[in-house]
Structure 1
């Protein structure tokens, strides 16, 4: 039956009502922020984060993301309920998981980004699992346990177009930017040598695994904690901190502090990949006569020298010396007797053809040597500062994630953090090679000691000591697949 004039009037009125209501609803959704009040952040301007490893450093990481005012901590994952307890209390609305694989599988549609703060040996599988789902990633330093992992992660960030940041928060401090400005102003000439040193380790190293066997804490899922690493029985106090001293899980003092102390030289000199490395390491006495070497554990101290090829910021190769376990470089003659070298226990020293400059850990307290050169110093600022420095490192990533891939500058995205991490792991190749024993005719031979190892960056291998290449890409435990793009 054909509609009457009255019917058409009712239909048109209904259409107008629906149209008007839809416009009003849309207007409500995109109401200007100033109408909603100062400090309000629209739902579309918030980042939903899942934390993997939320005790210790992971706890402070997610707290800093929440402090940014633009992030929600939506999911928590940790294999240790005891360590996770404070984060669970701080974020009661966040759903909790023990297995990160289950969380990614079930919840990936419900969050935007992942923060990884677990032991080094699981960083790569967790980060890549998130990136392959299109999730932005923040990972604690070092970003990977193996060179191969670091290379794959760097490539994955670009392939999957996700926003990444490594947790070497000193990269966002003013210090590195000031050092760059001084160097580019020619204040110390051409840098040819860098020294970086730390008083760490502050955990056991140079010991045998067989000591201190213990029961697994009730709150800890030991199999999940091991993840990609070979199965071994638990030892006392391995968790939450002492794992750093064991090669199966950690990367020693280099992995712990290298990203903080060598970030400045990488940034100032635009270093990328080393071309050779050599080292010497300290040892421990197991009895009155014999020195003990324990290949499962990092040494108590080391001195590693990396050579980097000439960059557009230098006139030639650069020698970078790394020292840990309390070893320090020769004190600069230009430094007064009562003036502190670095920050006392750690620091970074640049030596150029016209002078020297140094800084503390995290790039803090940059200064020229002698210190009198810092008086009335006036160098034009060239590089934009990160608001709140190291604390702002977290908000910088949150803001970049919300803006989208490639939209905002970051202090330590994987394209920068990857080569830095690889350099530290190449240094560890030399350290591990130092204790590789080869039995020739019943005699113990250590061919890696006092050798200069030559690195082929394209093939990711040492060309003159093949035995050490087993550490470039380790074999994962049965049940864990090696990462690949």
Structure 2
């Protein structure tokens, strides 16, 4: 670490690229037979540098370490959150600024795991790929649509092995759903319902007016990263940032990559043609919840229109904050819909099927059909799981059969993330000009706007104000470098 924190913050992108080129020039794979019996060739193990090692990040790196991966470097802006990882991997060198870690250590690792708040995903992942490092990035892939597009392009440009952290994409459930659909069991799907019990953090609230002391263990400036400069407030770190647009992507960004992934894959969806949203705003006692531009709403219902493979329109309903679809008539009164708080229902011309979070517990409806319908397995499963699938693919290298078989590489995860973030364009573009409070404990929301989307050009064609949310303006000192 530099003696001056600010000095570490000024590590330049040019130095990343210069050192990355030197590392590439000096790279050599040592054949196994040269090392002798009992030795493991360096090319047989993946050296990982982790950015964000608390919470989910800790779970990620411990999962990598169950396979042929060594966790050599740890980076976190909060030493409290990093404590378990430091204890679990005592030989790993620790940094608080990923840019300094990349500059000083880029010869000593092969891959990077990114598990930061959403607003820092893209800058860390892009810097890693520009050094030629394989990347594993937690969901959602990025905070903005523009970032998702650029990371997708960069994975191909720099020829790195990539994977997003939506583990359900490697599960058996989504593959079972695909096999049923491909066999024509439920006919052509025209409507999909997706719902979640999130948010389980505060949303639809006002930004606290009183700043709080910054904990000594937290580098607040580095935590803010690309986001606007603000005073530290309590009850934000380490989890409740998800409900603030500067840092998180709300319930849709948090759970969409787990719940929308099954219909996206099963139906072969591309960019939505249009999207619209309605949002909830209420009072709870004296605690006001309503429309605050900085905060995601407490609930929302998003409707996306896609063009299916057969050219027919597919309508997807996303619901969060306690909103759920009507129970299918085919589902018994005591049977659980989805997994209870979350789920997906596919409505086809010949029947219905559903699943829970991550695509688990796939079922045909009525559930009695599951004992009657038998479809041959045609899609390979992933017995090693999502994490080791990426580790093994990264060791095999870009373009290898293992890399081509990945469940959620950026050429899949990127378009999926873009489609999910389209919903947030509609939520953030909800017209509040007619919103009002009557002073008696009720808040009347405004009206929704249907946004028409030009996917290839990343542009809303009928409502220009929505385009401001396609790409953020980073704080001075931060850049995506594209």
Calculate the aligned-residue CA RMSD, in Å: 2.1
Q: Report the counterpart of residue 330 of structure 1 in structure 2.
A: 326
Alignment of 1:424-463 (within 5 A): 424-435=420-431, 437=433, 449-463=447-461
Cα offsets for 1:250-277 (capped at 9, x unmatched): 0000111000001100110111111100
Q: Report the counterpart of residue 11 of structure 2 in structure 1.
A: none
**Which of residues 375, 386, 391 in structure 2 aligns to 1:393?**
386
TM-score, normalised to structure 1's length?
A: 0.88
4+ residue segments displaced more than 6 Å: 286-291
**Which of residues 330, 334, 340 in structure 1 aligns to 2:336?**
340
Q: Report the counterpart of residue 298 of structure 1 in structure 2.
A: 296
Q: Is the 1:79–1:221 contact (alpha carbons within 8 Å) kept by the matching residues of 2? A: yes
Q: Which runs of no fewer than 5 residues in structure 2 stay unpaired?
A: 1-29, 436-443
CA distance in structure 1 between the partners assigned to 2:225 and 2:31 by the alignment:
47
CA deviation after TM superposition for structure 1 residue 450, in Å: 2.1
Q: Report the counterpart of residue 352 of structure 2 in structure 1.
A: 356
Q: Rg larger in 1 or in 2?
A: 1
Q: Report the counterpart of residue 177 of structure 2 in structure 1.
A: 179
CA distance in structure 2 between the partners assigned to 1:210 and 1:95 by the alignment:
36
Q: Report the counterpart of residue 17 of structure 2 in structure 1.
A: none
SS at match of 1:61: helix
Q: 1:376 to 1:291 in 2, by over 3 A?
A: closer
Q: 1:117 to 1:290 in 2, by over 3 A?
A: closer
Q: Report the counterpart of residue 114 of structure 1 in structure 2.
A: 112
CA deviation after TM superposition for structure 1 residue 212, in Å: 5.9
Q: Report the counterpart of residue 235 of structure 1 in structure 2.
A: 233
Cα offsets for 1:62-113 (capped at 9, x unmatched): 0000011x00000000000010011001111111000000001111111000
Q: Report the counterpart of residue 405 of structure 1 in structure 2.
A: 398
Q: Report the counterpart of residue 423 of structure 1 in structure 2.
A: 419
Q: Report the counterpart of residue 42 of structure 2 in structure 1.
A: 43
Q: Is the 2:46–2:70 contact (alpha carbons within 8 Å) kept by the matching residues of 1? A: yes
Cα offsets for 1:324-374 (capped at 9, x unmatched): 001001100010000100001100110000000000100000010000100
CA distance in structure 1 between the partners assigned to 2:82 and 2:346 by the alignment:
41
Q: Is the 1:475–1:482 contact (alpha carbons within 8 Å) kept by the matching residues of 2? A: no
TM-score, normalised to structure 2's length?
A: 0.88
CA deviation after TM superposition for structure 1 residue 447, in Å: 12
Q: Report the counterpart of residue 57 of structure 1 in structure 2.
A: 56
Pairs aligned (count): 442
Q: Is the 1:74–1:111 contact (alpha carbons within 8 Å) kept by the matching residues of 2? A: yes
Q: Which runs of no fewer than 5 residues in structure 1 stay unpaired?
A: 1-24, 440-445
Is the counterpart of residue 283 in structure 1 residue 288 in structure 2?
no
**Which of residues 34, 41, 48 in structure 2 aligns to 1:29?**
34
Q: 1:123 to 1:111 in 2, by over 3 A?
A: same
Is the counterpart of residue 72 in structure 1 residue 70 in structure 2?
yes
CA distance in structure 2 between the partners assigned to 1:194 and 1:216 by the alignment:
45
CA deviation after TM superposition for structure 1 residue 288, in Å: 8.4
Q: 1:332 to 1:286 in 2, by over 3 A?
A: closer
CA distance in structure 2 between the partners assigned to 1:466 and 1:481 by the alignment:
24
Cα offsets for 1:181-235 (capped at 9, x unmatched): 0001110000011111000100000000025632111100000000000011111
